[in-house]
Amino acid sequence: MKILVVGSGAREHTLAWKLAQSPKATEMFTAPGNAGMAKVAQLLDIKAEDNEGLLKAAKDFKIDLTVIGSEAPLANGIVDLFEKNGFIVFGPTKKAAEIESSKVFSGALLEKHGIPSAKNAAFSDYKKAAEYLKTQKPPIVIKADGLAEGKGVIIAESVEDAQKAIEGMMQSKAFGASGERVVIQEYLTGREMSFFVFTDGKNVAPTVPACDYKRIYDGDKGPNTGGMGSYTPPPFFNDVMGNIIMKTIMQPTILALADEGRLYKGTLYGGLMITNNVPKVIEFNARLGDPETQVVLPRLKTDLVDIMLAVIENRLDKIKIEFDDNAYVGVVMASGGYPGSYKTGYPISGLDELDKDIMVFHARTKAGEKGKS
């Protein structure tokens, strides 16, 4: 099979690396990819948001399976376009992916179907949002409604900071159109965990869970990022908790989306808070997580191509998905200043001198002089 992975992050690098291990994978392509992915796939100079360009590439290279790694193409409806043109593609449709691309929709869905989650209120009017904040006790969670690369969440330690947050989102357009509507959410305490499932819209199969670290500095002091590190397995997780999460959150959410006419096929990522052994949803993502994918997929023993084809062909219940018992830790290295303004283009060296048990997954790196990324 000729396989195309869409995206340029470390998540997509990990996906391409894992897919390339399948005996079914004869040729690998990535768009736009990165310097690290060039070792396992041919890079195509096409942006992940360029639906028409990606479709043309799928036709030109006769792609058999397209895997959408990042959220923006899903929100742009790339799955709908590929399916309309007869291509096999892994990922949810635009309507189904709205569980991530709209925090307002997601919150309303969970409330309507009684799925345990943080309480939230949605606003498109700045003055009403500001008035509502006066009734809340800090810490207060402020979220931009739309996509913001994992950075559209602010945990305000005071009402004044919360006011500045909604002003930045709604009036100063810090996150562009994504912040035109905001969700003001209850602050949950406990242990945060990422829980992933594969689903064909009816059958739901869990992967192994992971934990990630969102804030930039030690002690959870800095602003939220797209993720600074991750590990698996969480020491507090057990099979009983996994069954509770499946029965009260993941399976009901897939059924709820189907009831709403939004059949969900692909990977669903639940960002959960575990408080006194009771899991609640913080948010959903319509794809695998980054940086969690980098520690979850190395544990996967089952052929990932087989899993994805089972999802696409509505036979997920016919495949056994297995993971090993090893523990993995992922550490993210980023340029100083991230997640604010930061410089890029720094050379990366020493990758050939690492211990054999260390894997490196690249995010948006480019080949430079003497092949350095």
| Mean pLDDT value of segment 186-214 | 95
Contact 28, 42 (CB under 8 A): yes
Query: Could you tell me where in the chain the CATH 3.30.470.20 domains are found?
Result: 189-331
Q: Quote the CA–CA distance of 164 and 178 in Å, as a whole number.
A: 17
333: left (phi over 0), alpha (psi -120 to 50) or beta: beta
Amino acid at 2: K
The CATH number assigned to the domain with range 119-185 reads: 3.30.1490.20
Taking alpha carbons only, the member of 2, 8, 14, 1 closest to residue 267 is 14
Kindly state which CATH superfamily the domain 189-331 is placed in. Answer: ATP-grasp fold, B domain (3.30.470.20)
Per-residue pLDDT of 212-268, as tens digits, reads 988 888 887 888 788 899 999 999 999 999 999 999 999 999 999 999 999 999 999
Per-residue pLDDT of 10-35, as tens digits, reads 999 999 999 999 999 999 999 999 99
Q: Is the pLDDT of residue 371 over 50?
A: no
Per-residue pLDDT of 117-162, as tens digits, reads 988 899 999 999 999 999 999 999 999 998 877 678 888 999 999 9
Q: Quote the CA–CA distance of 11 and 24 in Å, as a whole number.
A: 21
Taking alpha carbons only, the member of 174, 163, 175, 170 closest to residue 130 is 163
Q: Quote the CA–CA distance of 35 and 93 in Å, as a whole number.
A: 29
Q: Quote the CA–CA distance of 118 and 122 in Å, as a whole number.
A: 13
Per-residue pLDDT of 261-302, as tens digits, reads 999 999 999 999 999 999 999 999 999 999 999 999 999 999
Q: Is the pLDDT of residue 372 over 50?
A: no
Band of the pLDDT at 55, cuts 50, 70, 90?
very high
Amino acid at 39: K
Contact 75, 27 (CB under 8 A): no
Concatenating the DSSP letter of every residue in 207-261 gives ---BEEEEESSTTT-S-EEEEEEEEES-TT--HHHHHHHIIIIIHHHHHHHHHTT
How much is the mean pLDDT over the chain?
94
Contact 204, 314 (CB under 8 A): no
109: left (phi over 0), alpha (psi -120 to 50) or beta: alpha
Q: Return all residues near 137 (Cβ < 8 A) that are at least 6 apart.
A: none
Query: Could you tell me where in the chain the CATH 3.30.1490.20 domains are found?
Result: 119-185
Q: What share of the chain is helix, strand, coil (3-state, %, to 5)?
A: 35, 25, 45
Q: Is the pLDDT of residue 305 over 60?
A: yes
- Confidence at residue 59, expressed as pLDDT on a 0 to 100 scale: 98
**Threshold 0.75, pTM exceeds:** yes
Amino acid at 260: E
At 161, which helix (H) or strand (E)? helix 159-166
At 67, which helix (H) or strand (E)? strand 65-68
Higher-scoring residue by pLDDT: 315, 372: 315
- Confidence at residue 76, expressed as pLDDT on a 0 to 100 scale: 96
- Confidence at residue 15, expressed as pLDDT on a 0 to 100 scale: 98
